[in-house]
Amino acid sequence: MGTAKATAGEWWEQFKVSVPEGVSGEWRIERFWISPQQSSFTRLRALMGSGGGRGYLPPGEYTMLKRGETVVMSDTPDEIADHLEAVQLASGRVLINGLGLGMVARAMLERPEVEHVTVVELSADVIKLVGPSLKAYTDAGRLTIVNADAMSYTPSAGERFTVVWNDIWDVISSANLADMTRLHRRYGRRAEWVGSWVRRQCEWMRAVESGKGNPWRSPRRPLSAAIDPDVYREGQREIRKLNRAAAAHLAKMKRLEAEGKVELVDGVYTPVGTDDKAR
């Protein structure tokens, strides 16, 4: 399968991983490709969603870590953005709970101000799949990968960190908040800064589930006020463009129907005398 290259110079490209595809236990590393057409659909969906543009995938090749059929991590722009704050704050000695694709560890280790990174990873299979791609850092003594449960792991007595970053959850859920709270309390006195993957989104979900409403979008605010105005206007233009294309296609099908060349079968225009659907 051919690959579409992302536009050169995109900010997120420097964080993309080169972990080889593979399988170990219930875990696997896979490549996937986004075509220009697929990218257009993700752009429209992102523009009209409540996430202010989140969900757009530029054309190109990406890597994902899966457990069974669940995508646990990928090196897509949105996911990279979720970790940027931790990466930009990293210096000195850093602790990461959760190896994932190794994307965060590598990005931090590329910073000259980072002396050492300790990664705590529960799954030996994930370490087997991802660890070799980080061998240069372990060989240099700047990276230590520990096969342990982040919820019970205890650093050495007196060990302190500049940054502690927690990313041990497969999905975004308000149920993650209990573990996040425990980890933040555990490392609050050991680190200058402690953060957890998409914690704000999890807090938003809890607020919605508790009946407090969507804190990002008041029921009294229209969609146009809930997201960036430029994003909203671009989304409206895309919808109008699609509506015009759909209207033109429908007019064409109706003309062909009047000429006896197609017929409407189960809601689909089909060439007369064939089983093929008209396009």
**What is the arithmetic mean of pLDDT over 112-125?**
98
C-alpha triplet 4, 5, 6: angle, nearest 5°: 120
- Per-residue pLDDT of 152-170, as tens digits, reads 999 998 899 999 999 999 9
pLDDT of residue 251: 75
- Per-residue pLDDT of 176-209, as tens digits, reads 999 999 999 999 999 999 999 999 888 888 887 8
Structural domains in the chain? 11-77 (no CATH), 78-209 (3.40.50.150), 229-271 (no CATH)
Token pair recorded at residue 105: 């560890």
Side-chain half-sphere CA neighbours of 27 within 13 A: 18
- Per-residue pLDDT of 87-107, as tens digits, reads 999 999 999 999 999 999 999
pLDDT of residue 224: 45
Q: Are 103 and 80 in contact (CB under 8 A)?
A: yes
Stated pTM of the model: 0.72
Average pLDDT, the chain: 82
Closest C-alpha among 150, 165, 170, 160 to residue 195: 165
Distance CA 106, CA 33 (A): 23
β-bridge mates for residue 194, sequence order = 164
